[in-house]
Structure 1
């Protein structure tokens, strides 16, 4: 009996030591226990060591006992000796997104102040949809339920780090006698998920009225300042009409904030600042606190 138990533990131990085979054409990241990170292709592997072909250091032989982790190349980069994972939620600023697409099967859940809940999901590598709801309490008329749906198509990246997208969104308030609202928009993003600038233009829509005459402008950006933190800024200008009224716009909405987390979760924070150009000294500020949780293919 004791002999059988010993053989069982031995079999489990040998199974745990079984090496994982890697394709020699696949790029991987090898993290060692001394906190070094190497990028390359595993050209040979045995029970004791692996051979890693790198561009910077040539052929490296690394003992398996010295390896902490081996990761497949999924868009990561190495900064200051650390792996910066590509975050799905980098396609989203605090309130709106950019032209960088979600890949097929990628999605995320976004929450702001508990009440605002939204989802986004990549149907293909270039087409994604989103939906959300935000309960609003009106002490006279009860609870209003704004529900919105959006769709975005990002054109294949023709240039280096230049993305174009078009999209539409619609909003309906339930329990309130109010027409359907929406917008058609286009955006261009320069950069990548770690550093980008987005310029956009949208035309609002109102049921029974049609497209609004004057568009809504947007300029947004994000910079990744560490492995886990992004700094973001969004600016929206309403009623752009420099020809007839000789004015740049009617008002501006500005968000300043950040996103801190990992590839599995992001904590979002910042403030919304609103200003009416007719009263430029009057600024209203509202704090933002939320969370984004990716799901699907990461």
Structure 2
């Protein structure tokens, strides 16, 4: 089917191949230098990944053939070493460590972690690290549900001293901390931490051009019967789908790119399958101006039934603006071409007129959850229900 082919071309276009970036160096006794990723160091063997003929291959070298080697993350850590500062280190197995670097010897790091005490970390197991900035704000959620935000003054073995804007210096036992998140610059407003908008990639139904980040996703439920999920395959490509009980299933691929400081553009499709079977959907393009907190989107697309496209495009005009820590205003408006018949000179003539459907409502936000409470209206709906038809949905970001 031609429409299905177009949809899959959208998906294929957005998947870019990428290789593993070599960060480690091996020098053999024969004088050969290899850029690679060292994966394991044994007593007499060094295992690593290296790119050969455009493919990453696993191999090894015995120490008798090895002149020297260096692990990129260890060398970066050595260059920024400050035994008085705190570091966060993430290991390849997902373990997170926070504490001070005591020393670095060859490829091993002697680390004093707040929870595990003094441990030795093998350099090849380090995925990433970050040096703590004393000017960084942190948002801390306590086990009892209270929230505190401020700068870290001092880390102790069992306590954390925080300088807050409203309470001054606060000492928190580490055992009372449920979660601690680094706050991006500008997210503390009037003494409150404004978490990132958890639902910035769509309005009520239609999308913005802002894509999900790789590994991000969300589940959405509207009117209980409509269930969907979307997932970021890469920073530019999102794939999703869902069901509208009990009659339809659909898929929703989308690509999106940031082309200027406040401008994103994107394209995608909504492909639905109804009993029959009948395939219906929209191929669309969108452009968004603004940030994740305040934006406006213009969209246009052509609907289709089976392989037949509707002659005229439908248009969307949507926007959102965050007015407080937990509240945003949302509007989504559709201008849709509808066929009609006119009686002209004794004959019925098929014409097309545009019909406008508007919506307006509130978005209630938490860090990973949003609730939309809105009203949908048109020139016909307003005759029966002046305020409009209620709309509700729920989104959980994962």
Task: State the TM-score, normalized to the length of structure 2.
Answer: 0.54
Which runs of no fewer than 5 residues in structure 2 stay unpaired? 1-112, 118-128, 340-350
Q: Which has the higher contact order (CA 8 A, sep 6+)?
A: 1
Question: CA 1:240–1:164 in 2, change beyond 3 Å: closer, same or farther?
Answer: farther
Instruction: Map residues 1-298 of structure 1 onto 2, 5 A cutoff.
Output: 18=115, 23-24=131-132, 28-30=136-138, 37-38=149-150, 45-47=155-157, 64-65=171-172, 70-73=180-183, 77-136=187-246, 145-155=247-257, 157-174=258-275, 177=276, 179-209=278-308, 211-239=309-337, 249-275=353-379, 282=383, 285-295=388-398
Question: CA 1:72–1:31 in 2, change beyond 3 Å: closer, same or farther?
Answer: closer
How far apart are 1:87 and its partner, in Å? 2.8
- Report if the CA contact (8 A) 1:261-1:267 is conserved: yes
Q: Following the alignment from structure 1 to structure 2, what is the Cα–Cα distance between the partners of residues 207 and 31?
A: 51
Runs of 4+ that moved beyond 6 A: 19-22, 32-36, 48-52, 66-69
Q: Following the alignment from structure 2 to structure 1, what is the Cα–Cα distance between the partners of residues 256 and 335?
A: 23
Larger Rg: 2
Q: Following the alignment from structure 1 to structure 2, what is the Cα–Cα distance between the partners of residues 37 and 188?
A: 36
Question: CA 1:43–1:62 in 2, change beyond 3 Å: closer, same or farther?
Answer: closer
- Report if the CA contact (8 A) 1:121-1:128 is conserved: yes
How far apart are 1:239 and its partner, in Å? 2.0
Question: CA 1:63–1:227 in 2, change beyond 3 Å: closer, same or farther?
Answer: closer
Q: Following the alignment from structure 2 to structure 1, what is the Cα–Cα distance between the partners of residues 209 and 169?
A: 41
Which whole-Å deviations, capped at 9, do the CAs of 1:162-196 have from their partners, x for residues lacking one?
1111111211112xx35311111111111111100
Of stretches 212-221 and 79-88 in structure 1, the one that deviates more from structure 2 is 79-88
Which runs of no fewer than 5 residues in structure 1 stay unpaired? 1-15, 53-60, 137-144, 242-246
RMSD across aligned C-alpha pairs, in angstroms? 3.8
- Report if the CA contact (8 A) 1:275-1:283 is conserved: no
- Report if the CA contact (8 A) 2:293-2:322 is conserved: yes
Question: CA 1:188–1:208 in 2, change beyond 3 Å: closer, same or farther?
Answer: closer
How far apart are 1:28 and its partner, in Å? 3.9
